[in-house]
Amino acid sequence: MSAPYAYEYAVIRVVPRAEREEFVNVGVILFCDACNFLSARVELDEGRLLALGPEIDMAIVKDHLDGVSRVCLGGASTGPIGLLSLRERFRWLVAPRSTILQTSAPHAGLCEQPDIALERLLDQLVRTRQPLGGSG
């Protein structure tokens, strides 16, 4: 077992109509400086999103979500933001916005493996559990 590492994360939200303050959690961004780790995982439930905003352009949403993943990866292909340090890119990604794509405030935690922590956060904050079936 390795020592626990501090990390920060934010939930990625799609906000179809900002004035209604309704959103769907669609992903998580996790940054762990000690492990040189910055990654975003997205699981878009189109049905839930369309229930809140039937007029939403899903292609635009997917393009913006893909942009978050590209910024996490970094590199010249993502423009000037992609050339920043991991910490700077995380701060840029979680900066408050009033657009269709927003993030929660950053939160902190401890983990031994950031990729496993990211999956656990997806389970807790993004993935919906199917109702249990059966007769009553």
- State the Cα–Cα distance between residues 89 and 36, nearest whole angstrom: 12
Q: Is the pLDDT of residue 1 over 80?
A: no
Q: Is the pLDDT of residue 74 over 80?
A: yes
State the pLDDT at residue 131.
55
Q: Nearest 5°: phi and psi at 25? A: -70, 125
Note the pLDDT tens digit of each residue in 19-29.
Answer: 888 999 999 99
Task: Enumerate the β-bridge partners of residue 32.
Answer: 37
State the pLDDT at residue 136.
44
How many residues in total does the chain contain? 136
Task: Enumerate the β-bridge partners of residue 103.
Answer: 12
pTM for the full model? 0.90
Domain locations in the chain?
5-125
- DSSP, residue by residue, 8-68: EEEEEEE-S-GGGT--EEEEEEEEETTTTEEEEEE---HHHHHHH-TT--HHHHHHHHHHH
